Structure 1
Amino acid sequence: MGRLFGTDGVRGRANADLTPELALAVSGAAARVLIGHDPTHRPVAVIGRDPRASGEMLEAAVVAGLASAGADVLRVGVLPTPAVAFLTGLFNADLGVVLSASHNPMPDNGIKLFARGGHKLPDDLEVEIEELALAGEPTGRPTGSGVGRVRDVPDAGEQYIAHLLKAVPESLAGLHVLVDCAHGAASTVAPEVYRRAGATVTVVAAAPDGLNINDGVGSTHIEALAKQVVAAGADLGIAHDGDADRCLAVDADGEIVDGDQILALCATAMRDGGTLVENTVVATVMSNLGFHHAMRDAGIEVVTTAVGDRYVLEALRERGLNLGGEQSGHVVFTDAATTGDGLLTALHVMAAMARTNSPLAELAAVVQRLPQVLLNVPVGEKAAVAASATVSAAVAEADGELGDLGRILLRPSGTENLVRVMVEAPTSDQAEQIAHRVADVVAAAS
């Protein structure tokens, strides 16, 4: 068997790749690793999930794995991933466990682990857990009083809501927001927190039945929300994904506001309020060049990382910064969260609107997005192709042609035999022409 952990925990098709037996092994191994590091301490784990049907089955397996290894379990029910991270810290727990496949289709599921404080699990602990999970049936399980106890926390959602309202205390009175919950983990808490903050809330896709999560709704299917915002005459729309660790927005005219624009408007708002540490923001290499131009013009430095929220988090912690994010809508405010939080992000966006009495379109206009073309080119040896002399020459030629007005990014896929060619240029035609020209060179070099 290959590696269990990917970039965002253990993922797979529930009851096929991600079986109850695997969930039992991973959770039991996690508890045994924690106990091995401190045999005198009885670990506590917080577990939450999104509403997909397989979560019920996998939750039972994870709870059994943890308790059978001697860990006590606090079960918080259906809540967003960032809520579980927050509660892990709040309850001083040793481990947080989220059962979710985020924006993936309903048949998928995943196991994501948080360390003490709700932070990303260190790589060395992840490796230990994986090795132990794959080692087979454990021996010497605890018995009697050594078996872990399981307790439900019925007010967990209320504690998370209180945390969000404290983190962004501005009143949202006068704002009308449509919130698309993707029939996911935020279906109850997101509308509630926006109402308590003072907004008028119209709710979309907030009736999870275990089967409809992300099904044509949410941040990966935002077009329907855009039409609904215009029809309702609302000030904005907020679209979450299945586990609500991110959000995208729609302005009053139905225009989509992506993660780059959200990150930029939050950065400028925090700069204006004197709370943006070192006047610096963290973004990935996929952020649009228009974002970089906007930050340059605003006097805000950009630290650029590889693609993935884990790399954004690492840069934030290494530099002691407090704002970073991705084009996909994952935004991290480290003053109040240890991971991307779509609800916290939405509150910051709406607070900026309320504070400045400005429509979202005006705030989002700080970023003038350049036309972007992304092509996925199937290849044999992706690393060798990407590094070949002919490909490097084609990229250099394109880079010279674009100059300061655009850019080209070529990178091997992390999971497939693909080389991704991304071009941004002043016009769509130029971006298309250059991207296809370079893609042809990449294909020929395979």
Structure 2
Amino acid sequence: MLFVSLNQVVVAAFLTWLGWFIPGEARIYPRIWIPKAMDAFEFALQFGISVLVVACPCALGLATPTAVMVATGKGASQGVLIKGGNALEKAHKVKTVVFDKTGTLTVGKPSVVSSVLFSKFSMEDFCEMTIAAEANSEHPIARAVVEHAKRLCQKYGSQNEHFTDIKDFEVHPGAGVSGKVGDRTILVGNKRLMRLFDVPLGHEVDDYVTENEQLARTCVLVSIDGKPAGAFAVTDPVKPEAARVISFLHSMSISSVMVTGDNWATATAIAGEVGIQKVFAETDPLGKADKIKELQLNGGSVAMVGDGINDSPALVAADVGIAIGAGTDVAIEAADVVLIKSSLEDVITAIDLSRKTMRRIRINYVWALGYNVLGMPIAAGILYPFTGIRLPPWLAGACMAASSISVVCSSLLLQSYKKPLHVSSP
């Protein structure tokens, strides 16, 4: 684009020179118009040079990169790390924001509020086997279960010296983990994992799960040798700013969606608490990416906000992937935008800053083009026959520099950007 504009400027300058040189040689305009010590060739050449200098497309070339540079720097100072101009450009088109649940809409520090046995296993053996399986998992809920099980072991006098090694350990994304502790097969996860291994769940288990899911709790079931052994009820409080952010997104004409691997009852309860109406639950990592693609097919740009390894495929599939700063390294690497402070309010900041930046880029282009549209005719001498005013090459150079400086100064106005007042914490 810049190359094409430069060619057009050269052509315009050449035509300006011809437009003054030929009439001057043919004495079409009065000889008195030509300053002393100049001939028609030099007189025409100065007009051509002035057009060439004043119309230099430097300002057009600076319009976008200067704004992007200032915006990314300002975003970083506000706690939003934007990885380049492409992410900044896409963010202003976002019409749907998809949120993960655990660690994104919730605090990400789950805790066990109750535990129960469904078998004749002792609490010590049950907890020790659970610790052996869950200690290898990186999921926040798994860590909460391990911590709670260790406290139970200490309560019942166990030092957790048995069943510390697990064999054939396997992670089932969005479901749980499995393996062998000693000669026993253990499963730790949700109901989907139990169905996957054909573990029968009786009324006692179903009642416990239903009761806790209605309270927006996640139930972690434990199966030993194909039979339900016990369960843990885990709660993870919603971030205090979540509802406010969802409401503000709605005011920006942006819809919100939740996608999670958790059960439907818990997901629906959390979504209702924060104001999200559309929910996709019991979804594995690849399923999350598929949901993103479905939303994209329905029209509009989609942003995904997540924090875990399970969110990485969805972060890549989204038009704009937004990672929570406290999340995993894999999620941060896959994302286009990183919320350094791990605050959901910065989702608003990222989108709003992108919109302000694109508006500033458009202003830069309008100014640069308008400057050239007005400056080129004056440099070409359109006012000279009527007022005697012309633009010497040195003055045209100063005007060209002023054009570039004005665009840079316009971009620097983004330094005054402030977060939306209704989102900023009091």
* TM-score of the aligned structures, taking structure 1 as reference length: 0.27
> Which protein has the larger Cα radius of gyration, Structure 1 or Structure 2?
2
